[in-house]
Structure formats: structure tokens, C-alpha cells
Amino acid sequence: MIELKDILVKTKGRVILDVPSLIFKNGKRYGIIGENGSGKTTLLRVLMGTLQPSQGSIEGLKLNNNVGYLPQSPYAFSFSVIRNVSMTLENLQNRDEVAISALEKVGLGSLIEAKGNNLSGGEKQRLGLARVLAVPKEVLLLDEPTSATDIRGMDLIEALLQQWFEQTRGLLIFTTHAPAQALRLADEIIFLEKGRVVETGTPEILFNNPQKLETQAFLSHWSI
Amino acid sequence: MELINSIFNLLFGSDPELRRIIAVTLQMSFFSTFLSAMIGIPAGVLLGANEFRGKTFISRLVNTMLGLPPVVAGLIVLLLLSRSGPLGSLNLLYTIQAMVIAQVLLITPYITAMTSNLVGVNASVINETLAGIGIRGTKRLKYFLLDFRVPFLTIILAGFGRSIAEVGAVQMVGGNIQFKTRVMTTAIMMQTNMGRFDFAIALGIILLLISFLINSVVNRVQKVAADD
């Protein structure tokens, strides 16, 4: 279980994230939704430790190899695609086999010799996911993992995440612009607006019967 | 016509002074570029890839050093290495080593600044990506070096270009001593002042040829590195 306590992130005096309390339980999938600038990415960065909050603490999260994080635009290094994945597997004897297997799962099996920096945005996201999932993980933090992919890529990634969850029963926290994706993937939805948690709940409750006006207004833009 | 004949004789002959000048120039430029790259590239990566207190100040210092006039760098090294200076006991003044020290002082800020600017553009997304797969701290340096290996070669080449073309600092700390510290730029200046234009032009042509040759080699290496 991960618990955020009194998290406050400020930049140039402006509050970017203000989360007095938030709990993520193991064995659950959390979808964080909200408009641009609502604090979704900031929340993941704080969890990942790449952004230090102005105040507050996070309990229950050890940032080790069991935690994987995929930024919204993962960087693809200028060496081969296979090396982009095997770089995470330095201690393994059969790292190339493991890397190829991970790349095949994300549909990049035919591009293993291509240069990482020559891939498209969607391919880079899939490469990033292969890199993160090449080593078994207990916690996955994914920042809009399908924002650059086409429909096929999105289906592939969603199926892969479902499979990962069924196999590990780990903790999945992902952000998305699309409530429909949160509905498909999440056990619980967290709706953020202007850096604050407005409403949380299961997809059924949140989408069918949102309590807060802000949630209703956000969801009214989408037909789910 | 006489001038052209003279240039050809120098270029394709075996003038011992010309050979020594080329050897000293290459020796000085290779060592100063090598040392500057060894210091400047890791320093530039550390500066560009990290956010820390005082970063703006250090960047400003490095950028200020970019504007350091070669004669001032020469003067600093001259004062340090002169007999009454703090490093006078090393007896390095008017040696190739002194010229290398002065050039390192000039080229290192240049390599550091170029590297820092190059790395800084993508630093946050690279750091996030590496953190996401559990690579943090100093382990990141390896991936920055690997990822930017091709543009780093261009930076090093630019550093070499600065080194081989520099005249003020090497004149001051090298003394332009025949068969010892005379390099192509100082020799061109001296020969021009003496009215020996054939020798100066021959040296100029050789300087350009060396630059072209090194550019060709580095381009080839860049291509191989990019394909790797």
C-alpha cells in the first residue's frame, strides 16, 4: 500500500498538486483522469521521486527495481531497439532473448535492429513499455501509456497491461485523458482538477453517478 | 611562379623544420584536445543532466570562460609556470606541456559548454526514462555518454579545430622556439613577418589539409558509431 500524506507541489508560487491524503492499495488498478494541467503527470513524478514535493511524504513505496515508470514521451536512445531494452538487463546471461521476448509482446519484434531514435512516437511508447516490463515489476506507474499510439497499439498495450495484472496482481497506476480507457483498465478512478483530487470511486459509480459538479462537467465531454 | 615552386618543394620535400613544426603541432593539438575532452565532456554531462543549487552560476562561469582571450589564458599559464610563479619548479615554461596546459584552459570551457547545451535539451526526459527503469545517480552518466557519442565526436573535433588554429596562448607559453615549440600558427606568423610567404603559405595549406584529413576520419568514425 502506498500512502500520500499532505503532498503539496508548488512552482513559482502556484500550486500544481495539493493532495492531503491518497491511498493506493496493492493488487488494484488505478486510473487517474483529468484535463491537461490537472496534475496527473506531477502526481506520478512525485510518486517516482523525480519531482520533490514542497511538503508532505509518501509511505510504503520503495523505489527499487520492482517499480517501473513509463513517462508520457519515453526517451529512445540512439542505439538499437534491442539494446534499448537489454540495457535494463545487464546482470542477465540471456538478456538478448529476454529483450526480444519483451519487444515481441509490444509488437516491435521486427524492429529489433532499428535505431531507437528513428522510431515513431507510438513505437517509442511501446519500446518504453517493453523496457519497463522486461524485468518483473510489482508496481507500474504509467503516464498516458497510449497517448501516441494508434488504435492497434492501444489495444496491444491495454491487453498487455491486463495480462501483466492478471499474472502479478501488482499495483497499476496510470494516467489517461480518455475516461473510456480508465473504464476498461481501472478498478478505481481518481479524478483530478487543478491539482486537487475531486472525486474517487469505481468506474461504474464515477461514470454513472458522479457526485461533484466538476466531475460531471468533465465527463459530459465524453460519450462512454 | 617561383613562389609556387617553392611551396611545392616545401610540401613534397623533406624540410626538417617543416616536419618538426607539423609534429609539434599535432602532438600539442592531440594532447590538449584529449585532455579537454576528458575533463569537458563529463563536466558538461554533469552540468547539463542535473539540476542543483548553483547550476546557473556555474553555467555562467563556464560561458564567461568561453570569452577568455587566448593571450589572457597564455598570460595566466605564463605567470603560473614562470620561475617565480607557484609552479615554476616544474620547469615547464617554453615546452609543449606548457602549450597543452594553456590550450586545455581555453578548450575545456568550450567543450563543457557545448556538451552541457547538447545534453540539457533532453536531460529531463532521459532522466525520467532512466529513473523509470531503475537507473539513477552516477549510473546515468554511461547512458548519456553512449547516447550522445556521435555529437560528442563533433564537439571534440571542434575543440581540435580551436586547438590547431590557436596562436596567442601558445606563442606566449611556448615561445615559438625552433625545433622545440614552434607550431604551424606561430610559424606562419613569424614567416609572414619575415617576408617568407612561400613557407607561410605552405604551412597554411598543410594546416588546411590536416583539418580536412581529421574531418574525414571523424566523419567516418561518426558514421560507424551511428550505425553501431
Q: Which of A89, A116, A134 is at the close of a domain? A: A134
CATH number at A15 reads 3.40.50.300
A65/B125 Cβ within 8 A: no
Q: How confident is the model at residue B85 (pLDDT cuts 50, 70, 90)?
A: very high
Cell numbers representing residue B25 in the block = 603541432
Instruction: Choose the final residue of a domain: A107, A134, A161.
Output: A134
Whole-number Å distance between alpha carbons of A93 and B9: 61
Asked if the model's pLDDT at residue B219 lies above 90, the reply is no
Neighbours of A63 (CB within 10 A): 16
**Residue B9's pLDDT is what?**
78
Contact B143 A49 (CB under 8 A): no
| Residue B223: per-residue pLDDT | 82
User: What is the pLDDT, as a whole number, of residue B215?
Assistant: 86
Residue B61 has pLDDT above 70, yes or no: yes
pLDDT of residue A224: 59
Q: Are residues A142 and A55 in the same domain?
A: yes
* A41 belongs to a structural domain: yes
Residue B165: per-residue pLDDT: 93
Mean pLDDT for chain B? 92
A83 and A129 together in one domain: yes
SS (H, E, C) chain A: CEEEEEEEEEECCEEEEEEEEEEECCCCEEEEECCCCCCHHHHHHHHHCCCCCCEEEEECCCCCCCEEEECCCCCCCCCEHHHHHHCCCCCCCCHHHHHHHHHHHCCCHHHCCCEHHHCCHHHHHHHHHHHHHCCCCCEEEEECCCCCCCHHHHHHHHHHHHHHHHHHCCEEEEEECCHHHHHHHCCEEEEEECCEEEEEECHHHHHHCCCCHHHHHHHCCCCC
**Can you give the pLDDT at residue A219?**
85
pLDDT confidence of residue B54 = 95
Shared-domain flag, residues A110 and A9: no
When pLDDT is cut at 50, 70 and 90, the band that residue B228 belongs to is low
Residues A48 and A147 in one domain: yes
Residues A58 and A23: their CA atoms lie apart, in Å, by: 10
d(CA A5, CA B126) in angstroms, rounded, equals: 28
Residue A174 belongs to some domain of the structure: yes
- Chain B residues in contact with A68 by the CB 8 A cut-off are 132-134
Contacts of A217 (CB under 8 A, 6+ apart): none
Whole-number pLDDT of residue B139: 87
Instruction: For residue A128, give Cα distances in angstroms to A55, A69, A205, B129.
Output: 30, 9, 32, 8
Looking at the fold, whether A34 and A141 belong to one and the same domain comes out as yes
Q: What is the pLDDT of residue B5?
A: 78
- In this structure, the answer to whether residues A111 and A181 fall within a common structural domain is no
Interface test with A, best of B52, B133, B145 (most A CBs within 10 A): B133
Distance CA B14, CA B20 (A): 10
Q: Are A62 and A140 in the same domain?
A: yes
- How high is the pLDDT of residue B90? 94
B138 Cβ contact list (under 8 Å, min separation 6): none
Q: Please tell me the predicted confidence (pLDDT) of residue A81.
A: 96
Does residue B126 belong to the interface with chain A, where contact is any CB pair within 8 Å? Answer: yes
Same domain membership, residue A141 and residue A127: no
Residue A43 forms part of a structural domain? yes
B146 near A77, Cβ under 8 Å? yes
Does residue A99 belong to any structural domain of this protein? Answer: yes
CA-nearest of A149, A117, A85, A1 to B150 is A117
Q: Compute the count of residue pairs across chains A and B with CB atoms less than 8 Å apart.
A: 59
**Under 8 Å between Cβ of B40 and B160:** no
Compute the nearest-CA separation of B188 from chain A (Å): 42
Residue of A nearest to B144 (CA): A77
Residue A224 falls within a domain, yes or no?
no
Give the residue numbers spanning the domain of A102.
Answer: 76-134
pLDDT of residue A190: 96
A35 inside domain? yes
B122–A contact, CB cutoff 8 A = yes
Last residue of a domain, one of A87, A115, A134: A134
Are A108 and A213 in a shared domain? no
pLDDT reported for residue A121: 93
Q: Are residues A62 and A163 in the same domain?
A: yes
Q: Which chain B residues are within 8 Å of A87, Cβ to Cβ?
A: 133, 135, 143
Determine the pLDDT at residue A221.
Answer: 78
For residue B143, which residues of chain A lie inside 8 Å, CB to CB?
Answer: 77, 87
> Which of chain A's residues have a Cβ under 8 Å away from the Cβ of B226?
78, 115
Q: Does B222 touch chain A (CB under 8 A)?
A: no
Domain assignment present for A126: yes
pLDDT for the residue numbered A64: 82
Predicted ipTM of the assembly: 0.88
> For residue A213, is it within any domain?
yes
pLDDT digits (tens, 9 = 90+) for B29-53: 999 999 999 999 999 999 999 999 9
User: Which residues from chain A sit within 8 angstroms of residue B147, using beta carbons?
Assistant: 77-79
Q: Are residues A49 and A88 in the same domain?
A: no
- Our count of domains for chain A comes to 2
* Residue A61 CB-half CA count within 13 A: 26
Same domain? A52 vs A158: yes
Residues of B in contact with A131 (CB under 8 A): 133
> Which of B131, B149, B228 faces A50 most closely, judged by CB atoms?
B131
- CB contact, 8 Å: B134 with chain A? yes
* Cα–Cα nearest to A107, from A125, A86, A132, A88: A125
> Within chain A, which residues score under 70 in pLDDT?
223-224
All structural domains of chain B, each given as residue ranges with its CATH number in brackets, are: 2-227 (1.10.3720.10)
